[in-house]
């Protein structure tokens, strides 16, 4: 299974709408980094509105994606994290510290714009 990556100007938009298994998450990591490289993207929004569960391994992959993209010079904002996902992550002790987040896609794009212009 592959997660579609949409291009919007200098941004890439991703909405994860499938149950994330390990292979899909790792494939996504690779696909996204390749797209950043090909398109020269400066900002990425990963929307997690439809994701109902993130365990510690998937959280690690997501954190890694953000760090890897930063290494390449692209900023990533995670949006739409469900209340139940936020609660379980914090209770488990997974903090995803240093990862920029926003409530929804619209605010995510605004946040990226501020970061890139500021």
Contacts with other proteins, residue ranges (CB under 8 A): 19, 21-23, 52-57, 59-60, 82-85, 87-88, 91-94
* Sheet of strand 101-102, all strands in order from the earlier edge strand to the far edge: 6-8, 11-15, 43-47, 75-79, 101-102
Question: Do β-strands 11-15 and 6-8 pair in parallel, antiparallel, or remain unpaired?
Answer: antiparallel
In angstroms, what is the minimal distance from the CB of 6 to other proteins?
25
In angstroms, what is the minimal distance from the CB of 41 to other proteins?
27
Residue with Cβ nearer other proteins (23 or 118): 23
CB contact at 8 A, 46 and 75: no
Count of helices and strands (H, E) across the chain: 4, 5
Residue with Cβ nearer other proteins (88 or 101): 88
Residue with Cβ nearer other proteins (78 or 94): 94
């Amino acid at each position: 299974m592959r997660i579609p990556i949409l291009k919007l100007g200098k941004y890439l938009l991703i909405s994860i709408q499938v149950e994330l298994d390990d292979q899909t998450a790792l494939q996504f990591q690779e696909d996204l980094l390749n797209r950043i490289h090909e398109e020269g993207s400066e900002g990425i929004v990963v929307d997690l509105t439809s994701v109902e569960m993130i365990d510690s391994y998937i959280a690690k992959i997501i954190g890694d994606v953000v760090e890897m993209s930063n290494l390449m010079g692209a900023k990533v904002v995670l949006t739409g994290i469900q209340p139940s996902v936020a609660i379980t992550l914090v209770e488990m002790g997974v903090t995803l510290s240093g990862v920029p987040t926003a409530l929804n896609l619209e605010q995510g794009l605004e946040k990226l714009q501020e970061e890139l212009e500021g």
